[in-house]
Amino acid sequence: MPTAETIISDLKKLGNPDQVAHCQRFFKTAPGEYGEGDQFLAIRNPNLRAYIKTVWKETSHEEVLQLLQSPFHEARLCALLIWVHQFPKTDDEGKKRIFEAYLDHTNRINNWDLVDLSAYQIVGSYLKEKDRDVLYKLAESKLLWDRRIAIISTWIFIRNHDFADTLELAEKLLFNTEDLMHKAVGWMLREVGKREKQVLCDFLDEYAPTMPRTTLRYAIEKFNKEERQHYMELKQKLQK
């Protein structure tokens, strides 16, 4: 049965030391940046995913938790993707255990890719038929990653044409100061618009003039040129 120690040893062999500096720049690890201090092995994503396929079935919950404590970004991503694989294959008690452990360790889910590749598949999937108050508690958190988890988790609802929580959370998170939140909210609004364009337009008619420019650009990315221009002009008129 794989242990966290053996998995990390295997991951180190898959890494590329020549690409570590690039990863550190890309994921903003300098002092004061959102990924400050994160360490990388520089593993190509296809190689990491291929490796996970060989270990996820036999890796215990306890070892995943140990793996999540690793200073290496790819080890934490490996832990989360093991849970993503295990989640739909386990029973209700197993799903609850993964969901609760995930939320207990959001301080280790501490970069945008870690959130984006796991939140909707674990938190969102667990809450599909349940009370979703926890998302609103996460949205009030001082921790950036909690708030990103809150909005990204709704992607699974959006795919089922269930937009209410996305729109309510977007309204709540719209004026967060972090660029990563501007992008996350805009992205989820765009996903709503891909399924029900008028729902997105109704939201934008109210909020486009005041929402962050990045959020608006992400939200209207799939619109035609005239539609994009219309909403950007709404914002520019207010600024004048």
Please tell me the predicted confidence (pLDDT) of residue 234.
86
Please tell me the predicted confidence (pLDDT) of residue 238.
62
Domains plus CATH for the chain?
1-117 (no CATH), 137-240 (1.25.10.90)
For residues 228 and 220, the answer to whether their CB atoms sit within 8 Å is yes
For 19-58, write each residue's pLDDT tens digit. Answer: 999 999 999 999 999 999 999 999 999 999 999 999 999 9
Please tell me the predicted confidence (pLDDT) of residue 93.
98
Mean pLDDT along residues 209-225? 96
**186 — pLDDT class (breaks 50, 70, 90):** very high
Residue 199 has pLDDT above 60, yes or no: yes
Residue 108 has pLDDT above 60, yes or no: yes
Please tell me the predicted confidence (pLDDT) of residue 102.
98
> 3-state SS of the chain?
CCCHHHHHHHHHHHCCHHHHHHHHHHCCCCCCCCCCCCECCCCCHHHHHHHHHHHCCCCCHHHHHHHHCCCEHHHHHHHHHHHHHHHHHCCHHHHHHHHHHHHHCHHHCCCHHHHHCCHHHHHHHHHCCCCCHHHHHHHCCCCHHHHHHHHHCCHHHHCCCCCHHHHHHHHHHCCCCCHHHHHHHHHHHHHHHHHCHHHHHHHHHHHCCCCCHHHHHHHCCCCCHHHHHHHHHHHHHHHC
Please tell me the predicted confidence (pLDDT) of residue 237.
65
Query: CA–CA separation, 108 vs 114, rounded Å?
Result: 9
Residue 11 has pLDDT above 90, yes or no: yes
pTM of the model: 0.95
For 61-77, write each residue's pLDDT tens digit. Answer: 999 999 999 999 999 99
Residue 198 has pLDDT above 80, yes or no: yes
Please tell me the predicted confidence (pLDDT) of residue 239.
57
Mean pLDDT along residues 204-219? 96
Residue 240 has pLDDT above 80, yes or no: no
Please tell me the predicted confidence (pLDDT) of residue 235.
75
Q: Percent of the chain at pLDDT above 90?
A: 96
For residues 42 and 22, the answer to whether their CB atoms sit within 8 Å is yes
Residue 139 has pLDDT above 80, yes or no: yes
Per the prediction, the chain carries an average pLDDT of 96
Please tell me the predicted confidence (pLDDT) of residue 190.
98
For residues 204 and 216, the answer to whether their CB atoms sit within 8 Å is yes
Query: CA–CA separation, 193 vs 195, rounded Å?
Result: 5
